[in-house]
Amino acid sequence: MLFALTPLVLLTHHVSPAFAVRYAKRANTSDVLDWVNPLIGSQAGGNVFSGATLPYGMVKAVADVDGENTGGFSTDGSHVTGFSALHDSGTGGNPSLGNFPIFPQICPSDDINSCKFPIAARATNYRNDSIVAKPGYFGVTLDNGIKADMTVSEHAALFRFDFSGSAPGNGTLDPVITLDLTDLWASRQNASISVEAGEDSESGRIKGNGTFLPSFGAGSYIAYFCLDLAGGTIKDSGVWVNDRAGTEPKNLYVTRGFNLFYLQAGGFVRFKGPVTGSISARMGISFIGTEQACQNAETEIPGPEFDFDGLVESAQDAWREKLAPISIQTGGIDNSMLISFWSAVYRTMISPQDYSGENPDWTSDEPYFDSFYCIWDMWRVQLPFLTVVDPLQQSRIVRSLLDTYQHRGWLPDCMMSTCKGWTQGGSDADNVLVDAYVKNLTGIDWKLAYEAIVNDAENEPLEWSIEGRGGLASWKRLGYIPYLDFDPNGFGTNSRSISRTLEYAYNDFNLATLAEGLGKDTYIKYLGRSSNWQNLFKPEQTSVINGTDPGFIGFFQPKYLNGTWGYQDPIACSPLASFCSLTSNPSETFESSAWEYMFFVPHDIRKIVELLGGEETFLRRLDFFHTSGLADIGNEPVFLTVYMPHFAGRPGLSAKRAHDYIPSRFNASLAGLPGNDDSGAMASFTLFSTIGLFPNPGQNVYFIIPPFFESVSITSPLTNKTATIRNVNFDKEYNNIYVQKATLNGEEYTKNWIGHEFFTEGWMLELELGSEESEWGTREEDRPPSVSTGSVEYMM
Ligand SMILES: *[C@@H]1O[C@H](CO)[C@@H](O)[C@H](O)[C@H]1NC(C)=O
Ligand SMILES: *[C@@H]1O[C@H](CO)[C@@H](O)[C@H](O)[C@H]1NC(C)=O
Ligand SMILES: *[C@@H]1O[C@H](CO)[C@@H](O)[C@H](O)[C@H]1NC(C)=O
Ligand SMILES: *[C@@H]1O[C@H](CO)[C@@H](O)[C@H](O)[C@H]1NC(C)=O
Ligand SMILES: *[C@@H]1O[C@H](CO)[C@@H](O)[C@H](O)[C@H]1NC(C)=O
Ligand SMILES: *[C@@H]1O[C@H](CO)[C@@H](O)[C@H](O)[C@H]1NC(C)=O
Ligand SMILES: *[C@@H]1O[C@H](CO)[C@@H](O)[C@H](O)[C@H]1NC(C)=O
Ligand SMILES: *[C@@H]1O[C@H](CO)[C@@H](O)[C@H](O)[C@H]1NC(C)=O
Ligand SMILES: *[C@@H]1O[C@H](CO)[C@@H](O)[C@H](O)[C@H]1NC(C)=O
Ligand SMILES: *[C@@H]1O[C@H](CO)[C@@H](O)[C@H](O)[C@H]1NC(C)=O
């Protein structure tokens, strides 16, 4: 099916006037990339990486700012402090990567010491209306007129600095490029640099390395760079420390410094001005060594003439190919919905990052992915989305998880910059592996997957804040993670007893699924453990909000080792109270309240319906949760709650709820995400919701609601078959959002959910819409599976 054309895409439409983002006007308006705005989520905590990258690329080039810089750049009007080539996307907490930033300047006098070396001195505003962000390309002009633009290959970036617009008649006209041995978080422990840029030569090279700290993890990592500068005749070069520089020596080794005093240091190369054209800066990166960084640059971006436009084209071709499986018939909906949609698809493939060939810790022929930041965020919707549109890549991602298990002894849970990151809840890679299993991803060693998950389920690591699970002795003996557990077997942040109990239960459910699939009788044991969540349900617990009891009874509560209940206010950690993370306000529920976790039993929602007093109360409670300010739509645990009415036979209420949040909380504005994108988690929530099929990962289930477009088709890259979900009676005002009747391949279809075969077999699902709820999908036998109703496949 064709990508439906809507005349000219006015991409500036929903963008705040200060950021009239310019897109190259193409004659070919069917180019899907015209609908991608990488700046969505570059404000208000979205923390999206908005620069140039290939799909899953290791190198990501952008301008770094001194404002909201977790992802490097932000459209927050702050100052540019440098241009760097490593970034993460959408993460929370500390700014990630941004190593070895380079910075262009014209200095006031011939004295090199008149240049601005330290971050605070060199920070310069950018012109709001100068930003050009497109897949594979990022450009910005500084207030002083210096224009920078950049593109990338897999392991190298190419920057261009054009000085021709900088204020004439001031300064020497000699362009200077500095390199700073730092990162965005100023986490450098030590670093080395050597500058090889002889006077009068036409190019110069700066090489070096640095040891840094991962932004949400343990240990340290070493990054290596190899920067080639060209485009003029070199005047001189050298190193700088704090605000002083010299042409001798040409090498420098800098440590952490005493008393936490952060030394600022790096190198510089000065060209004879004025230069005609741009100064090019080719930055090769490696996690293996400096030589490999240089080789990466030389192989991927050959010189001496760098083909900038060719790189942009290759990057854009790579992105077009990734977006190609999807086509839409819009039904005339607002362009902003399309921009939001395609930009979201784009954001699902920024991270995880393919570091194959750049693994410093072991050698292997298997793929090596990094920036699982964190799997807690990714397993629910982002990785399942890749399973639909990029299953071959998702297989490689899964293989990389298994290879990590083989070499490190544990599946990763959170991982960035080659380091182990902090575990947030359960052993969430288990969920990823089993989701891949139930969706028949190919090329994966399932026996190894089983072994890896059993390891998580049975063996407690000494340091369970970076892998595996904690409190396993209690888990096995008592069937819950106790409040203030006594756990001499391993060490971790001893909080989150409720959320860990819930997550471990789901991990065990997934293990049971895999065990059953592989014909192992251990599935009985793990299925038993998957009901452990019930041990923390306190039927008589109430919740008082603002002095009023809304009348809902039964919540998860913490329980001591001796079986006595502890207490956590059910609204604690909700948006009505204060945020709870690992370090700030650690509680028995992680980043979400007991109100929200009440719904986190993805394998047995029907039991929740029953425990909460039946369908009517369950639905009222769900509605109160979403309308009272208790739901945190900007964080992952909430996602599934939007679709839970399906389990109570009210799929129409799920559709209604999805429309309540999209586009009001997920939209095409630069501040259009309700929280950190978390790689592409917020993006994927939007995507599955708008295509009308929302996953319950680990299970072969997608909940059906009407797509937000007239129809969506997705061609499976595994089978080349095209699946289509199509609305009949679609109206772009979204009055008709209730399914009246459905057909699957022309036959009546009454279930309110469907399996992954829909995608791989290329089926056609037609939904006839109306403006009121109907009988469709309401019957007992039409609801999604739940363990306790016996409708999970292997229970039958
Ligand atoms: C339009 O762009 C698509 C995608 O790049 C390409 O396949 C097609 O040939 C282009 N059409 C024209 C007329 O340039
Ligand atoms: C640029 O945008 C920022 C953020 O919206 C704003 O604070 C600043 O005033 C703008 N600057 C100009 C010159 O418009
Ligand atoms: C030169 O720079 C100085 C300091 O930034 C500024 O005050 C002065 O106006 C500039 N002169 C010209 C001719 O641009
Ligand atoms: C650099 O710092 C790391 C981490 O603190 C340390 O392990 C390493 O020995 C240091 N390297 C040198 C050469 O001092
Ligand atoms: C970093 O570079 C310096 C200077 O070339 C070298 O002595 C040092 O061994 C390098 N460090 C690492 C970890 O490769
Ligand atoms: C997976 O493969 C099995 C065996 O070929 C098949 O029965 C099942 O329908 C497939 N599942 C999916 C989700 O494609
Ligand atoms: C159980 O342990 C908690 C915490 O130490 C304590 O407050 C409570 O009194 C104990 N209950 C019983 C029955 O011993
Ligand atoms: C509780 O009170 C606050 C402040 O008065 C208000 O914003 C909020 O909506 C109330 N929440 C509920 C659930 O009543
Ligand atoms: C877009 O989403 C943001 C973030 O959720 C929200 O604050 C804003 O109001 C939304 N804008 C529109 C026009 O709905
Ligand atoms: C799908 O199409 C691609 C490209 O045409 C081809 O290489 C591949 O073999 C096809 N796969 C199947 C299962 O037909």
pLDDT digits (tens, 9 = 90+) for 697-729: 999 999 999 999 999 999 999 999 999 999 999
CATH of domain 476-632: 1.20.1610.10
Q: How far apart are CA 207 and CA 100, in angstroms?
A: 10
pLDDT the model gives residue 24: 35
pLDDT at 2: 29
Measured distance CA(644)–CA(654) in Å, rounded: 7
- Taking the C-alpha atoms of residue 443 and residue 425, their distance in angstroms, rounded to an integer, is 28
Ligand nearest to the CA of 26: 1
Identify the pLDDT of residue 259. 60
Q: Does residue 14 have a pLDDT over 60?
A: no
What is the 8-class DSSP label of residue 679?
Answer: T
E strands present in 331-387: 353-354, 369-370
**pLDDT band at residue 30, thresholds of 50, 70 and 90?**
confident
517 in ligand 6 pocket by Cβ < 6 Å? no
pLDDT number for residue 795: 41
List, in order, residues 6 or more apart from 677 with CB less than 8 Å away.
Answer: 41, 46, 47, 48, 89, 90, 347, 683
Q: 725 φ, ψ to 5°?
A: -115, 125
pLDDT at 13 over 60: no
The CA distance from 509 to 530, in Å, is 5
**CATH number for region 37-321:** 2.70.98.10
**Where are the chain's structural domains?**
1-30+325-354+687-796, 37-321, 355-469, 476-632
The residue-averaged pLDDT of 562-572 equals 98
Over residues 53-78, the mean pLDDT reads 98
Do 604 and 787 touch, CB atoms closer than 8 A? yes
Q: Whole-angstrom Cα distance, residue 280 to residue 230?
A: 5
Determine the Cα–Cα distance for residues 603 and 622; give it in Å rounded to an integer: 17
Mutate to test the pocket of ligand 6, among 440, 699, 702, 759 (most ligand atoms within 8 A of CB): 440
Contact 37, 133 (CB under 8 A): yes
Is the distance from CB of 331 to CB of 709 less than 8 angstroms?
yes
Q: Which atom of ligand 3 is nearest to the CA of 167?
A: 14
Whole-angstrom distance, CA of residue 593 vs CA of residue 557: 11
* Mean pLDDT, residues 501-510: 98
Quick one: tokens of 200?
């009068």
Q: Residue range 170-185: average pLDDT?
A: 91
The architecture in CATH of the region 355-469 reads Up-down Bundle (1.20)
Closest residue by CA, ligand 7 atom 4: 560
Is residue 421 pLDDT above 90, yes or no? Answer: yes
* Lowest model confidence (mean pLDDT) among 250-264, 350-364, 730-744, 759-773: 250-264
Q: How far apart are the CA of 37 and the centre of ligand 1, in A?
A: 19
Judge whether residue 122 has pLDDT over 60.
yes
* Pocket test residue of 442, 720, 722 for ligand 10, highest count of atoms within 8 A of CB: 720
Q: What is the mean pLDDT of the chain?
A: 94
What does the alpha-carbon distance between residue 600 and residue 611 come to, in Å, rounded to a whole number?
Answer: 13
Q: How far apart are the C-alpha atoms of 51 and 72, rounded to whole Å?
A: 8
Measured by CA distance, the residue closest to atom 13 of ligand 7 is: 564
Architecture of domain 1-30+325-354+687-796: 2-Layer Sandwich (3.30)
* Bridging pattern class, strands 764-770 and 722-728: parallel
Mean pLDDT of 224-235: 98
Cα-to-centroid distance, 192 and ligand 5 (Å) = 6
Q: Write the burial class of residue 509 (CB in 10 Å: 0-12 exposed, 13-18 middle, 19+ buried).
A: buried
- Rounded to a whole number, what is the largest CA-CA distance in the chain? 82
For the chain, give the percent of residues with pLDDT over 90. 92
Residue list, ligand 3 pocket, CB within 6 Å: 167, 169-170
348: pLDDT strictly greater than 80? yes
How many Å apart are CA 325 and CA 722, to the nearest integer?
8
Q: Which is higher by pLDDT, 2 or 417?
A: 417
| Per-residue pLDDT at 257 | 66
- Mean pLDDT value across residues 249-258: 89
Checking if the pLDDT of 9 tops 50, the result is no
Find the 662 Cα to ligand 9 centroid distance in Å.
9
Per-residue pLDDT, 171: 66
Ligand 4 pocket (Cβ < 6 Å) reads 189-190, 211, 220
Among protein residues, the one with the nearest Cα to ligand 8's atom 13 is 628
What pLDDT, on the 0 to 100 scale, is given for residue 632?
97
Q: Which atom of ligand 4 is nearest to the CA of 189?
A: 2
Q: How far apart are CA 494 and CA 357, in angstroms?
A: 37
The pLDDT assigned to 29 comes to 60
* Structural contact between residues 148 and 63, judged by C-beta atoms closer than 8 angstroms: yes
Instruction: Please check the confidence at residue 36 and state whether its pLDDT lies above 80.
Output: yes
Q: What is the band of 166 on the pLDDT scale with cuts at 50, 70, 90?
A: confident
Instruction: Check whether 241 has a pLDDT greater than 60.
Output: yes
pLDDT digits over 577-611, tens only?
999 999 889 999 999 999 999 999 999 999 999 99
Query: Across residues 11-30, what is the average pLDDT?
Result: 43
Q: Give the whole-angstrom CA distance, residue 357 versus residue 352.
A: 15
Q: How far is the CA of 598 from the centre of ligand 7 (A)?
A: 25
CB 367 within 8 A of CB 354: yes
Cα–ligand 4 centroid distance for 271 (angstroms): 34
CA-closest residue to ligand 3 atom 11: 170
Say how far apart CA 784 and CA 601 lie, in whole Å: 13
Structure tokens at 518: 């592989």
Rounded distance from Cα 666 to ligand 9 centre (Å): 6
Rounded CA-CA distance 206/228 in Å is 7
Taking the alpha carbons at both ends of the chain, their separation in whole angstroms is 39
Indicate the SS3 state at residue 240.
strand
Q: Which ligand is nearest to the CA of 292?
A: 5
Q: Whose CA is nearest to atom 10 of ligand 2?
A: 77
Query: Which band of pLDDT confidence, cut at 50, 70 and 90, is reported for residue 548?
Result: very high
- Range name among 18-27, 469-478, 723-732 with the lowest pLDDT average: 18-27
The bound ligand whose nearest atom lies closest to the alpha carbon of 667 is 9
- The tokens describing 546, both together, are 């603002």
pLDDT at residue 521 in the model: 96
State the closest ligand 4 atom to the C-alpha of 192, by its place in the atom list counted from 1: 13
Residue among 190, 213, 253 whose CB has most ligand 4 atoms within 8 A, to mutate: 190
Residue having the nearest C-alpha atom to atom 13 of ligand 9: 664
> Measuring from atom 12 of ligand 9, which residue has the nearest CA?
664
